Structure 1
Amino acid sequence: MSFSQGISGLNAASQALDVIGNNIANSQTVGFKSSSIAFGDIFSGSQVGLGVQVAGINQNFSDAALTQGSSKLDMGIQGNGFFRLVDEAGKISYSRNGQFKLNADGYIINNQNGFLTGYQATGTPPEIQPGASVGPIQIPNDTMPAKATGSGKLVGNLDSGSENVTVTPFDPENKDSYSYSTQVNAYDSLGNKHVINVYYAKTADNEWKVYSNDTTSPKLDGGGKPVFQTADLKFDSSGKMVPADVKIKVEGAGYKGGEALDFELDLAGTSQQAADNETNTASTDGYSTGSMNGYKVSGNGQVVASYSNGKEQLIAQVVLANFTNPGGLSSKGDNSWTETAESGQPVLGTSNSGTLGSLSGGKLEMSNVDLAQEMVNMIVFQRNYQSNSQTIKTQDQLLQTLVSLR
């Protein structure tokens, strides 16, 4: 009599229940990937098998549902890809657990103190440079430096029904010497705010004269009077500006140590219709200094900081890694894996590039364990265990009968 079949069945069923128990225990573990057990039969030169063996334990890397995270640095992946992490010793691992936080030095880490890696933005303004190396991502708590205005746009409508201005010369203190005025804000090299006044004077049908002046720090002539920059606007019978690419200079003097303003306002798109004078767009590209208010992770994995001056600035971009055979990765616990010869080497990239999936900021990927299926599997393998124990009991009874023969 051979008890090997029943014993192997008991061992296999016990290991299967271990796998199921581990899946159930991790049904609420963020980024956990469920496992399943595979069996193979045992033959040894006989048509009658010698039982069953565990052929392997496979992980299911299918997506799980995303849920709302509790941290601004929480991230969830849908599709192919893993977060790339590096520890203080330089050992690299990969994970789908997107629970991240900042350490005392501003680096993004997980709960096991592994550093999240990606491309750090550099330069002014910060950008991801071509060929940038992959390394730990740091969010510096620096002040955003000011940017001097280098260009601007001013678009609106001029009332074709306005009376021609007859009072000359132009004088901003005399409202009869112009038809309409508006303002644009600009900033110098130190972030000082300058108010630019722009005046429009209708000189004839379809013809206007435009004047600009830095009221905060005006450029002065030899007599100490403000110097105005000018431009001429002409419109066709349909109210379109011709030519369409008119610009007006803005020049000022140095202010509180900052460099003098010197840029152009683009007036393209300005119209002349029988409607009120109005400004639709008045903007410049400069800004003052700003302190960091917070940060977020965008949908493409970019880490973006926001500042008190109302501006945002790119800090870094998270890198994802993919493998030819994710099933060949070696599990090291803590929801992380390391590469092996079977998995192949990692292919790095950013969210939604190549075969990589999408990354969502402020979200977490939950466990992909199907509790209902695991409960059914547990019942099945419990019955399997009982059945294998019954074969041992039956063979024991047969052996007892043979021993009892005289």
Structure 2
Amino acid sequence: MAFNTGLSGLRAASVDLDVTGNNIANASTVGFKSSSVQFGDLYASGFLSAGTNPIGDGVRVQDVKQSFGQGNISFTDNGLDMAISGDGFFILNNGGEIRYSRAGQFGIDKNGYVTNNQNMRVQGYTADGDGNLSGIRSDLQIETDNLAPRRTTNLTTDLNLDSREPVLENRVRDIGPLSVAGIQGESFSVQYTDGSPDYAVTIDPAASAREAAQTLNGVPGFNASATTTAQLNGLTDAFITGGTFSFNLNINGSPLTLDTSSISSLQDLADAINNSSETAISASVVDDGSGTDVLRVIHNQGETLDYTYSDGITTVGPTQVLGDVNVTADRMVASVDDPADGSFETAFNGSPIRITNEFNPLDQRTYNHATSATIYDSLGNSHEITQFFVKEPAPGSGVGISEWSVYLQIDGEMIAGTDTTPYTARFDQDGNLQSVNGDPAGEIVVSDWIPKDQNGQPNGADGPPGPGTQVVTPIPEPPTSSAFVVNLGGTTQYGAAFGVNDQQQNGYTTGRLSGLDVSDQGVLFARYTNGQSKALGQVALAAFNNTNGLSPVGETTWVETFESGQPIIGAPDTGTLGSITASSVEESNVDLSAELVSLIIAQRNYQANAKTIETSDAVTQTIINLR
């Protein structure tokens, strides 16, 4: 009996030594989980009774239980090394056999599959060509092909336009020249775009051109000037030399003092007028259109001129010449209303609009703000788009509303029709964007862009949509033309310096794989030379209701058993599954100090059980030696 008891103790102590030695041997094994031996005593018992004085039969090993406690996480230089912080196992495909492991020392094989040191493939969730993760679980594979280019279909600009900026562009109407005779006595009213009250105007029936200009200069939005031009078509050199020449010129009824005693030609007369005391008048000899030289007299302030000349035989005059009025109306003048439909209203309606300081992308003085960004065509070629912003006068009364013109240019060529008609961005009293050309979303659809090379020729990329094709937003995938959307929805107009807060576009050129990153959720991101990154897949983790029911099969891996239950598979950092720490591994959870103490205890137990056998042998020998 004692021999069997001691022998069972030796066996148990030997197992304890083996398990402890195995723990110590794997103290540096990544992902290793230490084990401990659990013992149970043995008692002999009958079918009906264990007896009144039971004596133990020794000990047996009930279980060798592994501890799945968290090991320390240490950093490595391998970007694909992963450590699980929390619950869960990596899922490995070992030639069709599924294994589970905490050892995250991974690399890439020749086919691009993520594998461990034993070429078991790591399982995870696959991604499509655009980097969208799916729920399909498969072997994770890293594609090393170049990243295909993506054309720009959306450009979002978030910026602030300085509300303190002045209006640079001025739109005017040039009215005239109007003969003062045509507007003398006219009465009309002027209407304004900013909601100002109408302004009533009456021209004196006897006004000179200068006086009419003074009256019009008093009208808000008008700037007037006057000139009087008298061309004496009958006065020639022959007339002057043909007899006794005399010449009289009155300015608004007052005679101009001239010395005509030595005049022998038109040029002499012009010089005499120019040398007079009246600085506002000038004279010159001009061709009347038929090859004949005649005298032209101009009063640059619009006074009425009366002239008479004679050769002693023939007298011409007196002839009165009224002046002309030139008027410039700025953009605040909306219309002119003359109940009699006078000549001034007719001239206003027929006058073209002239833009002073007109927008010019090459002249910084003609726009308030500008910002540029890089976009891409279907071939991955880069192009520079520039957005210009020009402040406009406030519409209506100007209360609570502000407007800016928006011009677009790509590689030096105006697009979206802004070379002739810019887009209008309207802001409310709080500086928030109300609309762009009436669109509250603030979107500008560019559908006329032809991508060109550096020589200004089409470069072979997709061009504008065909005639009659309606462009909808957002641009549907996959895009089939060069059309894209400029979104200004986040633009503001505050009393602060101009600044671009954010500018994003969704295109890029082709790129080569330059590196890999792994997120806390186990997503594998590929980094490319074009600055883009794309999800290639996501590591899957498995958990079990009874982790201790897993069966170790070596290589720091376990397999599912009936006792463990079926795996609960999901993405890292979801549910009860732990998160992923990249460029790290989980060290063995073996406590060497505790294991060395356990080794001493196992040695002591082994020696003690051996002593039991030795003592039993001595007693038996004593019995044998009885005589």
Pairwise same-fold verdict (TM > 0.5):
yes
Does 2:486 align with 1:265?
A: yes
Q: What's the secondary structure of 2:18's corresponding residue? A: helix
* 3-state DSSP of counterpart to 1:50: strand
- Corresponding position of 1:72: 79
Identity %: 40
The offset of 1:363, in angstroms, is 1.1
How far 1:227 moved relative to its partner? 4.2
1:232-311 superposed matches below 5 A: 232-243=424-435, 245-251=441-447, 252-255=449-452, 256-260=459-463, 261-311=482-532
Task: For 2:361 and 2:570, locate their aligned partners in 1 and report how far apart those are by CA, in whole Å.
Answer: 57
1:3-402 matches, within 5 Å, as 3-45=3-45, 47-88=54-95, 90-123=96-129, 125-129=130-134, 131-132=135-136, 134-167=137-170, 168=355, 169-205=358-394, 206-215=402-411, 219=415, 227=419, 230-243=422-435, 245-251=441-447, 252-255=449-452, 256-260=459-463, 261-402=482-623
Query: 2:208 corresponds to which residue?
Result: none
- Where structure 2 has 5 or more consecutive residues not aligned to the other structure, the ranges are 46-50, 171-354, 395-401, 453-458, 464-481
Equivalent position amino acid for 1:215 in 2: D
Q: Can you give the 5+ residue segments of structure 1 that lack an aligned partner in the other structure? A: none
**Aligned residues of 2:147 and 2:512 also touching (Cα < 8 A):** yes
- Asked if structure 2 preserves the Cα contact closer than 8 Å seen for 1:212 and 1:249, the reply is no
Aligned-residue offset at 1:23:
0.2
Q: How many Å apart are 1:236 and its aligned residue?
A: 3.2
Query: How far apart, in 2, do the equivalents of 1:160 and 1:106 lie?
Result: 56
Contact 2:408 2:416 in 1 (8 A): no
Counterpart contact for 2:415–2:446, Cα < 8 Å: no
| DSSP-derived class of the 1:3 partner | helix
Give the number of aligned pairs: 398
In 2, distance between residues paired with 1:147 and 1:65? Answer: 43
The alignment partner of 1:195 has SS state of: strand
Question: Judging changes above 3 Å, is the alpha-carbon distance between structure 1 residues 217 and 292 closer, same or farther for their aligned structure 2 residues?
Answer: farther
Once the 2 structures are TM-superposed, how far is the Cα of residue 278 of structure 1 from its aligned partner? 2.8
Supply the distance in 2 between the matched residues of 1:231 and 1:249 (Cα, whole angstroms). 11
Instruction: Judge conservation of contact 1:148–1:287 (CA < 8 Å) in 2.
Output: yes
Note the C-alpha offset of 1:271. Answer: 2.4
Contact 1:219–1:227 under 8 Å retained in 2: yes
- Partners of 1:216 and 1:187 in 2: CA distance: 15
Structure-2-length-normalised TM-score? 0.61
TM-score by length of structure 1 reads 0.92
One-letter code aligned to 1:36? S
Q: Is the Cα contact below 8 Å between 1:229 and 1:250 reproduced in 2?
A: no
CA distance in structure 2 between the partners assigned to 1:95 and 1:17 by the alignment: 25
Q: CA deviation at 1:170?
A: 3.0
Would the aligned equivalents of 1:229 and 1:248 in 2 still touch at CA under 8 Å?
A: no
Deviation at 1:219, TM superposition (A): 5.0
Provide closer, same or farther for how the CA distance between residues 104 and 162 of structure 1 changes in structure 2, counting only shifts above 3 A.
same
Query: Equivalent residue of 1:242, what SS?
Result: strand
Any idea what the Cα deviations from partners look like across 1:318-374, whole Å, max 9, x if unmatched?
Answer: 111112212111211110111111111222111022222222211100001111111
Query: In structure 2, the residue corresponding to 1:272 is in which secondary structure?
Result: coil
Preserved contact between residue 330 and residue 338 of structure 1 (Cα < 8 Å): yes
Q: Which one is further off, 205-214 or 166-175? A: 166-175
Maintained 8 Å contact 1:5/1:51: yes
Q: Which amino acid aligns with 1:379?
A: I
Distance 1:340 1:137 in 2: 25
Using the TM superposition, name which of 161-170 and 355-364 deviates more: 161-170
- Asked if the contact 1:213/1:228 (under 8 Å) is kept, the reply is no
Distance of 2:497 and 2:416 partners within structure 1: 33
Structure 2 residue identity aligned to 1:190: L
Task: Kindly indicate whether the alpha-carbon contact (under 8 Å) linking 1:162 and 1:179 is maintained by their aligned counterparts in 2.
Answer: yes
**What amino acid is the match of 1:259?**
D
Distance 1:53 1:274 in 2: 86
In structure 2, the residue matched to 1:404 is 625
Residues 39-98 of structure 1: CA distance to partner in whole angstroms, max 9, x if unpaired?
Answer: 11122236111111111111111111111023111011122211111123x111111110
Deviation at 1:14, TM superposition (A): 0.9
Between 1:374-383 and 1:205-214, the stretch displaced more is 205-214
| AA at the equivalent of 1:351 | P
- For the structure 1 residues 35 and 308, does the alpha-carbon distance in structure 2 shift closer, same or farther, using more than 3 Å as the test? same
> Does structure 1 retain, via aligned residues, the 8 Å contact 2:520–2:573?
no
Greater C-alpha radius of gyration: 2
Distance between the aligned counterparts of 2:609 and 2:420, measured in 1? 99
Structure 1 residue 165: Cα displacement: 2.0
- CA distance change for structure 1 residues 387 and 259 in 2, over 3 Å: closer, same or farther? same
CA distance in 1, matches of 2:162, 2:566: 67
Given residue 35 of structure 2, which amino acid in structure 1 is its aligned partner?
Answer: S
Instruction: Determine if contact 2:2/2:612 at 8 Å carries over to the other structure.
Output: no
**Does the CA contact (< 8 Å) of 1:321 and 1:348 recur in 2?**
yes
Judged with a 3 Å threshold, the aligned counterparts in structure 2 of structure 1 residues 384 and 400 are, in CA distance, closer, same or farther, namely same
Alpha-carbon RMSD across the aligned residues, in angstroms, is 2.0
Cα distance, 1:114 vs. partner? 0.7
Alpha carbons of 1:276 and 1:219: their partners in 2 closer, same or farther (altered >3 Å)? closer
